[in-house]
Structure 1
Amino acid sequence: MFYSVIIPVYNRPQEVDELLESLTQQTYTNFEVLIVEDGSSDKCDHIVPKYQDKLKITYFFKPNTGQGFSRNFGFDQAKSDYFIVFDSDCIIPSHYFQAVEDYLKDNPVGAFGGPDKAHESFTAMQKAISYSMTSPFTTGGIRGNKKHYGTFHPRSFNMGISKDVYEKVGGYKITRMGEDLEFSMRIIKAGYQTALIEDAFVYHKRRTSLSQFYKQLHFFGRARINVGRFYPEEVKLLHWFPALFTLGFLSLPLLYFIFWPLAAMGLGVYLLFLAVNFSSSLAKNKSIKVAILSMATSFTQLTAYGVGFLKELVKPSTKTK
């Protein structure tokens, strides 16, 4: 099968270089690559020529419209029966396309996705962030786990759709603020099956500092409410957990003055949460430094998402495109 890889990029030439280098290492090579430069000032047009002899690659520059609509632009140029979207901060393991090919031969689903993992070259902070973004203690098992919560919704850092889906369902209707969730929900509601291909994972670099991570997760919290404006039934009890986690933590000082034993019990719950994440990360990463940082990233993840969720919840009900 022939695949089209769509990579929207905005001011990330170094990331694109690393991503393209990983694509040259694929064991299955029947794919094209479309780089969609979304109005960047720091362009990657000087990176692409390095790979023209190694990949079937095409570079496009367009005015800035956001990542969702840039992916649509790429879909319109694609020549295959399956379109695959990667974020520019991903590194693709050499077996990725072979894993996808092997799965789709027997399971021709409408949309699919894969997990994300931390590469051995990542910094300790990046590994800690990767842990928090994939741990069942912080995500409830909804992000790329085999036993995930509910129907699997592919996320566009690592997502594939059939050409038929694009032609019948359309592409992204919103360009940011939960655009991939809205797209996945629309695909599922149209009757298409989705699949998690466990072996089709990517190494996702994500953010490199707690402050950047906070901003990203704050945005994710807002995005869940924005998606709920399109599909109210998709804001479930599980998605409220970070907000409740945040409100509970903020209420501890007040609770101390009202009834301090209850505040002490509450504090104990939060300390237990940190200890569990430390132990889980240590078992996974075999690094005390990463495990310590994982406590900070897990706490940051839930509070940042919770604050964003609550702030967007009280805003006027307007759909952000």
Structure 2
Amino acid sequence: MFFSIIIPLYNRPQEINELLSTLTRQTYTQFEVLVIEDGSSHDAKAIVQKYEDSLDVKYFFKPNAGQGFARNYGFERATGDYFVIFDSDCLIPEDYLEIVKNYLFEHKLDAYGGPDAAHETFTPVQKAISYAMTSPFTTGGIRGNKKHIGQFHPRSFNMGVSREVYEKAGGFILTRLGEDIEYSIRIHESGFKIGLIPAAKVFHKRRTSFSQFYKQLHFFGRARINIYKHFPSELKLVHFFPAAFTCFVLFSVLMNIIWPPLAYICNFILLVYFVMIFFHSWQVNKTVKVAFFSIIASFIQLTAYGLGFMQDFFKRVVFKQQ
């Protein structure tokens, strides 16, 4: 099996350097790498060229059109049997392709996704953000595992599709705002088999600050409504949880002003919830600092997603604005 690894890139030269470095250590070497520079003002051509002696790597520069269409650009030029998509802020374990190859030969998946985790070199904030995005105490608990709600939808930071899928279902038709979920649903509807490869994890940096994380999760909340507009049946009860949490927090703040007795109950519920997050993160990450930051990251994950979700729910669903 020959893999084509496709990486869209936008103004992140240092990240692609670190990602390509991890690919040079893959135990399975039957692969090519296509880096698609999507109209960056700080291009990484010189960095990519440094790896031409150690990797079968190709660099392309195209006008900016978003990550979904940058991946399509790579699909059109890939020569592999299987296309693997990574985000540029990922680090790839050395046995990743070996794991994927062995699993695909045994299970015959047409498309797959894998989980993400925090690398030991990540900052405490990055580890806390990773915890929030994978924790059973947030909506991250349904991502990257077999206990998801409904069909499994691979996420584009760690996703693969066969050449047959691309030839029949095509590529991405959205360039952002939930483009990976839309693509997964369309792959399902085309009759292909999608599955999770639990051991095929990547180390996903995500955002390096809480402010960046807030913007990203607010965008994700809006993206869920965008998916709903294409596929109404894909809006599940669990997707309303961040919005419900956000409303509960606002209600608690309001009660502190107008009715303190009820506020005490609300505050106690929130305190218990955050204490559970603290001790669970402490158990997972082994440090008090990351555990404390995990409370902040989880709060941001839920409220930012909830606000973005509510913003576009009222705008596009209730008031029917485009």
TM-score range, shorter chain: over 0.9
Q: Residues 176-210 of structure 1: CA distance to partner in whole angstroms, max 9, x if unpaired?
A: 01111111111112221111111110000000111
Tell me how far apart the structure 2 counterparts of residues 253 and 319 of structure 1 sit (CA, whole Å). Answer: 30
Tell me how far apart the structure 2 counterparts of residues 309 and 203 of structure 1 sit (CA, whole Å). Answer: 27
The residue that corresponds to 1:86 in the other structure is 86
The residue that corresponds to 1:297 in the other structure is 297
The residue that corresponds to 2:150 in the other structure is 150
Q: Residues 214-256 of structure 1: CA distance to partner in whole angstroms, max 9, x if unpaired?
A: 0000000000011100011111100000000001110113334
The residue that corresponds to 2:76 in the other structure is 76
The residue that corresponds to 2:267 in the other structure is 267
Q: TM-score, normalised by structure 2?
A: 0.96
46-55 vs 257-266, which moves further: 257-266
Tell me how far 1:141 sits from its aligned partner: 2.5
The residue that corresponds to 2:192 in the other structure is 192
Tell me how far apart the structure 2 counterparts of residues 133 and 212 of structure 1 sit (CA, whole Å). Answer: 14
Q: Which amino acid aligns with 2:167?
A: E
Tell me how far apart the structure 1 counterparts of residues 107 and 188 of structure 2 sit (CA, whole Å). Answer: 16
Tell me how far 1:258 sits from its aligned partner: 5.7
Q: Residues 99-133 of structure 1: CA distance to partner in whole angstroms, max 9, x if unpaired?
A: 00110001111110110000000000000000000
Q: Is the 8 A contact 1:141 1:149 kept in 2?
A: no
Tell me how far apart the structure 1 counterparts of residues 143 and 170 of structure 2 sit (CA, whole Å). Answer: 24
Q: Is the 8 A contact 1:111 1:160 kept in 2?
A: yes
Q: Is the 8 A contact 1:230 1:319 kept in 2?
A: no
Q: Is the 8 A contact 1:221 1:307 kept in 2?
A: yes
Q: Is the 8 A contact 1:3 1:30 kept in 2?
A: yes
Tell me how far 1:262 sits from its aligned partner: 2.8
Q: Is the 8 A contact 1:229 1:319 kept in 2?
A: no
Tell me how far apart the structure 2 counterparts of residues 247 and 269 of structure 1 sit (CA, whole Å). Answer: 14
Residue segments in structure 1 that go unaligned for 5+ positions in a row: none
1:40 aligns with 2:40: yes
Residue segments in structure 2 that go unaligned for 5+ positions in a row: none
The residue that corresponds to 1:50 in the other structure is 50
Q: Residues 253-285 of structure 1: CA distance to partner in whole angstroms, max 9, x if unpaired?
A: 333466533322111111111111101100000
Tell me how far apart the structure 2 counterparts of residues 160 and 250 of structure 1 sit (CA, whole Å). Answer: 40
Tell me how far 1:10 sits from its aligned partner: 0.2
Tell me how far apart the structure 2 counterparts of residues 64 and 20 of structure 1 sit (CA, whole Å). Answer: 22
Q: Is the 8 A contact 1:140 1:238 kept in 2?
A: no
> Across the two proteins, how many residue pairs are aligned to each other?
320
Q: Which amino acid aligns with 1:232?
A: P
1:169-180 paired onto structure 2 within 5 Å: 169-180=169-180
Q: Is the 8 A contact 2:133 2:140 kept in 1?
A: no
1:1-321 paired onto structure 2 within 5 Å: 1-139=1-139, 141-256=141-256, 259-316=259-316
Q: Is the 8 A contact 2:315 2:321 kept in 1?
A: no
Tell me how far apart the structure 2 counterparts of residues 139 and 269 of structure 1 sit (CA, whole Å). Answer: 18
Tell me how far apart the structure 2 counterparts of residues 127 and 316 of structure 1 sit (CA, whole Å). Answer: 34
Q: Residues 49-82 of structure 1: CA distance to partner in whole angstroms, max 9, x if unpaired?
A: 1111111111000000000000001000010111
Tell me how far apart the structure 2 counterparts of residues 275 and 192 of structure 1 sit (CA, whole Å). Answer: 43
SS in 2 for 1:7: strand
Q: TM-score, normalised by structure 1?
A: 0.97
Tell me how far 1:148 sits from its aligned partner: 2.7
Tell me how far apart the structure 1 counterparts of residues 260 and 28 of structure 2 sit (CA, whole Å). Answer: 62
SS in 1 for 2:64: coil
Give the alignment's Cα RMSD to 1 decimal.
1.4
Tell me how far apart the structure 2 counterparts of residues 260 and 319 of structure 1 sit (CA, whole Å). Answer: 39
